[in-house]
Every structure is written in structure tokens, then in C-alpha cells.
Amino acid sequence: MKLLFLAAAILATPALAQAPKPIPLVSLIRLDCGTGTIKDFNAFFSDSFDYKSGPREITDSCYLIRHANGNLLWDTGFPASLKGKSMDMGPLVARLDRTIVEQLATLGLRPTDVDIVGISHMHGDHVGQAKNFPAAKLVIGKRDLELSKGKDDAFGPWRKAGAKVETMDGADVDIFGDGRVVAMNLPGHTPGHMALLVRLASGPVLLSGDLYHSNEARAKRGIPPFNTSRAETLASIDRFERVARNLGAKVIIQHEPADIAKLPAFPAAAQ
């Protein structure tokens, strides 16, 4: 009798009687942030003659990661001012068909719905539309933020007093504090370069940043001559591949056209 009473009391306790809190789900949507033609793929992307010389297409992709505790925009592509145009940028010709803000509108989101802008590294094809989200918190490698200070500073809004900035200084950044979305410290392409680990219910995904620019680079461990540190890049490749192997993660190389098909077509989300 006493036991029955105890059981009834436990069931009546709100915290225990309620269904367990659902685990926050994470989803991942690929955004189109431009395309480019590299005039000489081998000369631009290999310091050791790894590839065939001549032109080759790349994509410029960004990602929206939706988490129960906020929306993260990972990388921001070419600038919105490039829309409908093509621009010769020296080693590459860049194009942009649609802006991130337009793609967010298709999803029913406003720019202010982006809570966090995460930047894999400071290069122009990753920072172009950051300024369109000045109210968001910026997450970026500390050295990359320092090095990009100057005339064409993409991060002006975050250099003002009171701006929300979290810099990665040698240790990974757990974006939402639950291990589901982690910006990984993988220096070498630039001093503060990061890749993103997203742990979806369907399995983990690794967004490469520019640790690699193509599947061929991954297979051959090709390293661009403009990387800030060859040795750091090789160490970062070692860590990235260990994580990919140990977690069984799906690797998405952000500039690889063949990897677009690894995620559902926009506006669908991987979950």
C-alpha cells in the first residue's frame, strides 16, 4: 500500500509525470553564395603541381544552421553588390545570382533572425555579405579578425563598442553550448581558419571551410601556395580526417561543385 502511494506521488510530481523534454533538433540548409571560375586551378591551388593546369569551376557556398537556441549563418560568400554581375578578381572570375537575404526571405526569415554569423576565415569569398547581418554575434578566428582590419574591412559593425563578438583563439568554439555545432580550430589556410562540425540527428556533417577547395585536394592533400602555414595545414588535415573517420561524418567541401548534391536542394533542410 505504502509503495503504491509512493508510486502515485512520483507520477503526480510534474517534472517526472511530464514527457521527457525533446532533444533540440538541428537542421542544415545550403545557401548559394556564388560561383567562380579559377583561371588556372593548378597554379592557384597547388604548391606542388598536384592538378591539371587550366580553368575549373568552383562553388561558393554558405550554410544556415537552425538550432533550438538560435540560427547560425556559416560563411557569407561574395558581396551582395556582385549580384547579377561577374567580376574579374585576378586568379578567378566571380559571380553571384542571389543574395543570402533573398534566400532567407524564401525561408520566411529576416536578416535579424540570424543570431550568429560564423566565418571560417577572412578571405573575400567568405566575408562578402557579413555586413548585411550587423545585429548578429560574430564568431571568427582572433587572428583573422585582427588581420582583416583595414580599408575593405568586412567586419566594421563588429569593431564598434558593445558589438557582439566571440573570437576563436586556439580552442574550438561550441556555438550553442551543447556540442551539436562546433567551430573547430584548424589553422593553416589562414591563422584563424575554422571548419564546422554539425551533429544532425541523421549523422554528423563537417563543413570544410577552405581546408580543402576540391575533392581532388582532399585525396592528394594538395595545399595552396597562399596558405599562411603549410605545416599547420597538414596538422589541421590530420585532425579533420581523424574527426571525420571517428565520427563517420559526411564531409562537405564548401567550394566543391560535386558536394552540392550531398545536401537536400534549397530550401529543403538536412536534419
Residue 194-233 contact track with Zn ion, rule CB under 5 A, x = bound: ----------------x-----------------------
Q: Is 144 in the site for Zn ion (CB under 5 A)?
A: no
CB 124, min distance to Zn ion, A: 8
CA distance 198 to 182: 7
Contact assessment for residue 27 and residue 183, using Cβ atoms and an 8 Å cutoff: no
- CA angle in degrees (0–180, nearest 5) for 24-27-28: 150
C-alpha cell belonging to residue 9: 506521488
CB atoms within 10 A of CB 258: 11
Nearer CB in complex with Zn ion: 31/200: 31
Query: Reduced to 3 states, what is the DSSP secondary structure of residue 200?
Result: strand
Contact assessment for residue 85 and residue 75, using Cβ atoms and an 8 Å cutoff: no
Q: Is 256 in the site for Zn ion (CB under 5 A)?
A: no
Contact assessment for residue 42 and residue 52, using Cβ atoms and an 8 Å cutoff: yes
Q: Is 125 in the site for Zn ion (CB under 5 A)?
A: yes
Nearer CB in complex with Zn ion: 224/267: 224
Residue 160-199 contact track with Zn ion, rule CB under 5 A, x = bound: ----------------------------------------
CA distance 159 to 106: 30
Using CB under 5 A, count the residues that bind Zn ion: 2
Nearer CB in complex with Zn ion: 75/115: 75
Stretch that binds Zn ion, among 19-27, 30-38, 79-87, 119-127 (CB under 5 A): 119-127
CB 23, min distance to Zn ion, A: 33
What does the H/E/C string look like for 108-174?
Answer: CCCHHHCCEEECCCCCHHHHCCHHHCCCCEEEEEHHHHHHCCCCCCCCHHHHCCCCCEEEECCCCEE
CB 71, min distance to Zn ion, A: 22
CB 61, min distance to Zn ion, A: 10
CB 226, min distance to Zn ion, A: 11
Q: Which residues bind Zn ion (CB under 5 A)?
A: 125, 210
